[in-house]
Amino acid sequence: KQEVTQIPAALSVPEGENLVLNCSFTDSAIYNLQWFRQDPGKGLTSLLLIQSSQREQTSGRLNASLDKSSGRSTLYIAASQPGDSATYLCAVLYYNQGGKLIFGQGTELSVKP
């Protein structure tokens, strides 16, 4: 079964800390992987997209890596700020899925001032 898992479910850090969010997937035959941010009661904001052939993508203070062989992706957030507090979701598009993203349950991040 193709699944996506995110651990931990919740994370609290002091402002300024660098942090890593984890995402694991059960099948290495992925087409791409997306990281999203979701604020309470809101829709999803796409942060980074990594294609299957790529190892990492960077946007500002965010860096996402992809290791298909180990079935893992990480989202690195540098110099965290209270405004980074949100739920972060990882989603995988597998090759044999036409368009269906399979999501993890998310990591709820709280950055304390």
Partner 1 sequence: DTGVSQNPRHKITKRGQNVTFRCDPISEHNRLYWYRQTLGQGPEFLTYFQNEAQLEKSRLLSDRFSAERPKGSFSTLEIQRTEQGDSAMYLCASSLARDEQYFGPGTRLTVT
Interface ranges with partner 1 (CB under 8 A): 4, 31-32, 34, 36, 41-46, 49, 89, 91, 93, 98-106
Contacts for 73 with CB less than 8 Å, ≥ 6 apart: 22, 23, 24, 25, 33, 35, 50, 64, 65, 66, 67, 90
Assign 3-state DSSP to the chain and report helix, strand, coil percentages, each to 5: 5, 60, 40
Nearer to partner 1, 10 or 79 (CB): 10
Which of 97, 106, 98, 89 lies closest to 1, judged by CA? 97
Q: How far is the CB of 103 from partner 1 (least distance, A)?
A: 3
Q: How far is the CB of 21 from partner 1 (least distance, A)?
A: 14
Nearer to partner 1, 18 or 46 (CB): 46
Nearer to partner 1, 55 or 100 (CB): 100
Alpha-carbon dihedral sign for residues 60, 86, 99, 75: positive
Nearer to partner 1, 89 or 109 (CB): 89
The pairing of strands 101-103 and 86-94 is: antiparallel
Q: How far is the CB of 112 from partner 1 (least distance, A)?
A: 22
Q: How far is the CB of 79 from partner 1 (least distance, A)?
A: 26
